[in-house]
Amino acid sequence: MNYTLAKRISRLGTETAYAVSESASKLAMKGKKIYPFHLGDINLPTPFHIIEAMNKAIKDGKTGYTPAAGILPLRQAVADYIGQARGVKYNVDNVVIHPGGKPVIGKFLQVVMEEGDAVLYPNPGYPIYESQIEYFGGLALPYQYIPTKTGFKIDREQVENYVKKHKPTVLIYNNYQNPLGAESDDDEMNWIAKITIENNMLVLSDEAYFDVRYSGQAKSIVSIPGMQERTMILHTFSKTFAMTGWRLGASIGPAEINNAIAKINTNDEACTTHFIQYAGIAAIQGDREPTRQIMNTLRDRRDVLVNGLNSIPGISVPVPNTTFYLFVDITAIYNKLGSKSLEDFRMKTLEATGVSFCTREHFGKTLPGETRKFIRFAYSGINVDQIQEGLAVLKKFWM
Ligand SMILES: Cc1ncc(COP(=O)(O)O)c(C=O)c1O
């Protein structure tokens, strides 16, 4: 049969990080020991009280459709939980439930972005932003971060130039950033608020890692006056509660936008799985000790990995206070190994050591003028003893 795929499909991107998993699996099948630093997944169990809540919900017959926006008790719980931690007030009309945080990106853009509208998004960043902006016909404007001794800072001049030239209507902001582990200080966050208010822009605040913090208080841009009414928060249960495969998230923001988003739910998935929504209530309202333990485990891994990497000549990484990623400048080793490309560097290292990681190229298109070479280590899917072992083989190969 002869057919052609719709043209729009050529604009749809993907998470090329899955190809990294595949190359690691292929090597593992040949008997190579793999040290998985490529996964943004968590190898820790979902807290038991959440599993029990789901079992109970199934037994209680919570197996039918729900409203497209989600069940009211979960929407209320999310409104309270998100509002309280951010110092603002939300009600049920501000909350729509989704199968994960990821769907919020495309749905939000479909509702607020006209074809041809310019949208600012972080690059390197979560690759779905670029994919969805382009898929729905927007002009994707990648803004970058500048490495400093204490972490990555947004290139403000670049954003200001884009604003002048393209008049973007939306800015995507991922504070507590994947893959950089970056976080804004007050000055940076106030500056984003100012520029979006002055230019009448909407903000998609991807807060997937808001609760993945090792010390201090997290802060959301919605707490700045004038921001709550122009910001949609992407929230997910995936990371904080080790629930990546459950698929549970929410959009929290202006009711009018969320009503339209719920209409997309009706047209797409109909609703998020009924009994999973009950598990979400248990996650939010239940015992927080298991999540504290998850954070303690992640902190131990972070410290071992940062110390180990910093003991390798040519590498210097600051200790991020958030996420479970390290974005590492490996330019010196890249050159020393005579690498032809980042993919060549990744494969050479993987084949020689079994250490598997993503590179900068998995987080949006590489931009002109990028000279330094970066790779990302995720420590959410690998235990401390394996981190230590992996670092030892890596060190031997790279030195
Ligand atoms: C920055 C960021 N946003 C959103 C998501 C989506 O998470 P999920 O769809 O599992 O809720 C992820 C997952 O890795 C992420 O890193």
The alpha carbon of 72 and the centre of ligand 1 are apart by a number of angstroms equal to: 24
Specify the pLDDT at position 18: 83
Atom of ligand 1 nearest to the CA of 249: 11
- pLDDT tens track for 316-340: 999 999 999 999 999 999 999 999 9
What gap in Å lies between CA 173 and CA 164, rounded to an integer? 19
b/e per residue 95-127 (b: at least 16 CB within 10 A): bbbbbbbbbbbbbbbebbbeeebbbbbbbbbbb
- pLDDT tens track for 162-198: 999 999 999 999 999 999 999 999 999 999 999 999 9
User: ω into residue 179 within 30 of 0, thus cis?
Assistant: yes
The encoded tokens of residue 383 equal 């235990």
Q: What are the sequence ranges of the domains in the chain? A: 7-45+290-398, 52-285
Specify the pLDDT at position 19: 86
Mean pLDDT of the residues in the chain: 96
Question: What is residue 120's DSSP assignment?
Answer: E
The alpha carbon of 204 and the centre of ligand 1 are apart by a number of angstroms equal to: 13
- pLDDT tens track for 41-70: 999 999 999 999 999 999 999 999 999 999
Q: Which residues pair with 236 in a beta bridge?
A: 249
Would you identify the CATH topology of the domain 7-45+290-398? Answer: Aspartate Aminotransferase, domain 1 (3.90.1150)
Question: What is residue 363's DSSP assignment?
Answer: S
Atom of ligand 1 nearest to the CA of 244: 10
CA–centroid distance for 90 within its chain: 23
Q: How confident is the model at residue 40 (pLDDT cuts 50, 70, 90)?
A: confident
382, 354, 320, 220 alpha-carbon torsion, rounded to 10°: -70
The encoded tokens of residue 20 equal 């990294």
For domain 52-285, the CATH architecture is 3-Layer(aba) Sandwich (3.40)
- pLDDT tens track for 66-102: 999 999 999 999 999 999 999 999 999 999 999 999 9
Q: pTM value? A: 0.97
Atom of ligand 1 nearest to the CA of 103: 9
Q: Quick check: CB of 178 below 6 Å from ligand 1?
A: yes
Whether 7-45+290-398 shares its CATH topology with 52-285 is answered no
- pLDDT tens track for 97-113: 999 999 999 999 999 99
**263 Cβ contact list (under 8 Å, min separation 6):** 68
Q: What CA–CA distances, in Å, run from 312 to 152, 156, 317, 335, 354?
A: 21, 32, 11, 15, 18
Q: Which residues pair with 233 in a beta bridge?
A: 205, 252
